[in-house]
Amino acid sequence: LLNINASDKVHDISDILYGIFIEDINFAADGGLYAEMVQNRSFEFTNLASDNEKHAWSDVGTVTAKVVKGDKTGCLNANNPNYMVIENKSDSDAGIANEGFLDGMSIKENTGYDFSVYAKGMDSYTGPLNVKLMNGSDVVGSGTIENVTAEWKKYELKLTSSVTSNKNVKLQVTIPKGKIAVDMVSLFPQDTYKGRKNGLRKDLAEKLEELHPGFLRFPGGCVVEGATIETRYNWKDSIGADSSGQPFEFNGTYGDVAARKQGQNIWTDERATNDKYPSFMTYGLGFYEYFQLAEDIDAVGVPVINCGKCCMGQSDGNGPSLDSAEFKQYIQDALDLVEFCRGDKTTKWGKIRIAMGHEKPFKLKYIGIGNEQWGDDFFKHYEAFVDAFNDAKKTNPALYGDIELMFTAGVDDGDSGKDVYMEAYNEAATWLKAHPDKTINDFAGAIDHHYYNEPSWFLTHTDYYDEKNYSRTTDNMTTSTYGGGMNVFLGEYAAQSNTWKAALSEAAYMTGLERNGDIVKMAAYAPLFGNLTALHWSPDLIWFNNNTVTSSVNYYVQKIFAKNAGTTLLKSDMSGATVASKPFAGKVGVGTWNTAAKFDNAKVVSNDNGKILGKDTFTKAENFSKYWEKATDGNWSVKNGKLVQSSDVTNTVAYGNQGSVAYFGNNTWKNYT
Ligand code: AHR
């Protein structure tokens, strides 16, 4: 019997325990969630595609189509230096066509698409600019832009597709005889998630909403670290900043995707199974859009920012020296992020958020500093962030007062993980000792744990965060099995396959997370998206291609837990000794039990096809004693053929299973073989 006392509360469970983690791995953002259909829309690929600026583009007709680089005065803006010049000297239409991402563009019959382009007529050319949606050689949607000016200007059109097609669909931009420059050639489905401009693929975003996530961690992962410090993810680039990190004004506004510098993604082509596809980031799905998505799915945005070091596995974790002005800028960037999310129109970065269209502050509480980084040098970097935020909390409590930083600790690969993490707990303890006036929360709101292990690891570690293993006080944070004292952000985890076995082991593990929801504040499966056409990492939670999306079995586990998340842990215990539906196919004394058996107070209350000496009690159980005698933990003995615990006989049940004996009593299950 399971006894639960509704008024006997053990502790509250974090109200944002189950969340999601989005990283642009497996082409999850560009070519995935971000609904842009044109690949290499601003011709910035260059070295990211083996110096092929025309990557994803092909010529149409007899044309000279060339990417112009290094034209500082004639380009669209400094963050978008390349553009395409199309020159047609023939008597037929000619120009360029884009093939889309990965497995190409997908279009639906009678559906609208938003086309836009920046263009300028050259050598007095004023138009037209013909835009066509092609399905193979058939025109299945078209429009024309007239009166093109000699200066860069944005032009927009709506195209409607007359067919449904997921193969060989291209977007063509052509002109009759003449010369024109184009940039930011873009095509979005009109039906994006929540109908947002520069929006997200509806089917993929709805999958996220259905998960009921409490938080959204973004944008990485290794993506944040970068393969080199120069190619790290800089949140300011993702909303449009100039080369010195200041807000970048373009066409009288801020945040325009045409004014965002493109970035190189750490998940490069060599890591993908299909090396045809270079990996880059348009930042079209940038920090603004991530926070907007978090709000749309009713989650708290949990940004992760670079700590001043790149990926340790890639370039030995290089970065600027601790005392350099360059490193101080990383800290300033973190402080500015809070202002971007919370500041009003009188603040420098709050004003940018408002200009981008979000008057209300974005929800923010936790900021991850670094990802999977560890060691003394990382600790010193982290400590500098801590000092700066603690100062900011004092000088501007309204803006920074409740912000919590998260310390990272590397990745647990099963056996050695304990040691990897313990280094971080030692560092935290050292910090506390040196700051006797501070609490552990002044150091870290949580420690970021990651693990990608076998299903068996998850099954055997459901008690990982139980108090016996993970201390609730800082006193024992370095002596408990897995550390303690700090709240936990389980930023990434997954049992290594998309199978029932893995999903069930994750479910078992999640019961442990929920039971310890006082100390485990957030947890997210990773990675979130797997692109069926080109892949860096598997297993993943959600699989997609250009027109479909599929949930893994692991997805349903996440969904069940998040939709039915507990709020409070109540005290419970097991009494009676009912073993319900325990699969059973062994021998007990005389007679065979083929299926489940139920016990109550040492009495068999049901047993399918089973026989025990023709009786339903254990009172004549001499035949069992040979097994029971093996219950040798000291508290148990056999009296009158019964398995007896000195003070408690009623909670006792025993069964034998192919030579083993188990007992069940007071919530404990043990096997004796
Ligand atoms: O989730 C995939 C990767 O795994 C993340 O980028 C990184 O943090 C971890 O190693």
Task: State the amino acid at position 80 in one-letter form.
Answer: N
Residue nearest to atom 8 of ligand 1 (CA): 221
Task: Encode pLDDT of 71-127 as tens digits.
Answer: 999 999 999 999 999 999 999 999 999 999 989 999 999 999 999 999 999 999 999
Owner of token pair 């990434």: 492
Burial class (CB in 10 A: 0-12, 13-18, 19+), 509: buried
**Domain range list for the chain:** 18-26+195-573, 46-191, 597-672
CA of 240 to the centre of ligand 1 (A): 26
169-175 vs 94-98, strand pairing mode? antiparallel
For residue 640, the Cα-to-chain-centroid distance in whole angstroms is 59
What's the CATH fold of domain 18-26+195-573? Answer: TIM Barrel (3.20.20)
Atom of ligand 1 nearest to the CA of 371: 8
CA of 20 to the centre of ligand 1 (A): 13
Across the strands, what pairs with 603?
600, 617
Could you tell me the pLDDT band of residue 408, with boundaries at 50, 70 and 90?
very high
Contact 237, 315 (CB under 8 A): no
Average pLDDT of span 428-448: 97
Contact 672, 628 (CB under 8 A): no
Whether the ω angle into residue 539 lies within 30 degrees of 0, i.e. cis, is yes
Q: Is 103 helix (H, G, I), strand (E, B) or coil?
A: coil
Q: How many helices (H) and strands (E) does the chain have?
A: 14, 34
Q: Both ends of the chain: CA-CA distance in Å? A: 26
Question: Is-catalytic flag, 209?
Answer: no
Per-residue model confidence (pLDDT) at position 270: 56
CA of 267 to the centre of ligand 1 (A): 10
Task: Encode pLDDT of 223-281 as tens digits.
Answer: 999 988 999 999 999 999 999 999 999 999 999 999 999 988 888 755 555 555 667 89
Residue nearest to atom 2 of ligand 1 (CA): 527
For residue 490, the Cα-to-chain-centroid distance in whole angstroms is 11
> Measuring from each residue's beta carbon to the nearest atom of ligand 1, which residues come in under 6 Å?
23, 25, 220-222, 371-372, 411, 450, 492, 526-527, 537
Does ipTM exceed 0.95? yes
281: phi then psi, degrees, rounded to nearest 5 = -130, 125
Contact 312, 410 (CB under 8 A): no
Per-residue model confidence (pLDDT) at position 267: 87
**If you ran DSSP here, which 8-state letter would residue 247 be given?**
B
Contact 223, 263 (CB under 8 A): no
* Whole-number Å distance between alpha carbons of 297 and 213: 7
Task: State the amino acid at position 206 in one-letter form.
Answer: E
- Closest alpha carbon to 399 in 492, 336, 486: 336
Q: What is the pTM of this model?
A: 0.86
* Whole-number Å distance between alpha carbons of 84 and 42: 8
Q: Among residues 44, 339, 372, 427, which one is catalytic?
A: 372
* Whole-number Å distance between alpha carbons of 357 and 253: 11
* Whole-number Å distance between alpha carbons of 99 and 533: 15
376's enclosing H/E stretch is: helix 375-395
Class of domain 46-191: mainly beta
Contact 547, 106 (CB under 8 A): yes
- Closest alpha carbon to 217 in 542, 522, 446: 522
**What is the percent of the chain with per-residue pLDDT over 90, rounded to a whole number?**
74
Owner of token pair 């349903």: 556
Task: Encode pLDDT of 619-664 as tens digits.
Answer: 323 233 333 333 333 344 444 444 444 333 333 334 333 222 333 3
